[in-house]
Amino acid sequence: MAAVSGDKGSAGTEAVDPQTAKEGWIGGDCDMVDVRSYAEGDEIGSIRGCKQIPLIETHRIYCKIVQQPNPHFVDKVRVQYPDLHQKLIIMCSDGVNRSGQAVALLREAGYTDVVPMEGGYLKWHATF
């Protein structure tokens, strides 16, 4: 899977652009994981067939929205993708913070082939 030259994801690795991600995903070379909150997926949109495993959980407490790290993120990824060598493209809203954090957590957990998607869902939506 080709990487976008010069564009570093926040995890310090080459990020793949949406076109490359789509080609790899449709071709069965990789899977995509959406780490945005369920509320973001509902509000902004999601990619049909893409697994959504939030890195951050969002809760409403009265009229306040509270965000906290999802303590089960890595465990949930392991259930969906038990093969630590599975190619995974990680997507957040803009390809900056959460995708990089998720890539770092998954690498720490032993995943060997995880990369962020450049521009996240917003760039995917603008591209397609």
Q: Which two tokens stand for residue 100?
A: 């990089």
d(CA 74, CA 72): 6
pLDDT average, residue stretch 17-26: 98
**What pLDDT band is residue 66 in, cutting at 50, 70 and 90?**
confident
d(CA 128, CA 126): 6
Output the CA torsion sign for 42, 9, 109, 2. positive
In this prediction, residue 83 carries a pLDDT of 98
What does pTM read for this prediction?
0.88
| HSE-up (13 A, CA, CB side) for residue 14 | 11
Domain 18-127 part of CATH 3.40.50.10860 = no
Query: What residues does each domain of the chain span?
Result: 18-127
In this prediction, residue 13 carries a pLDDT of 66
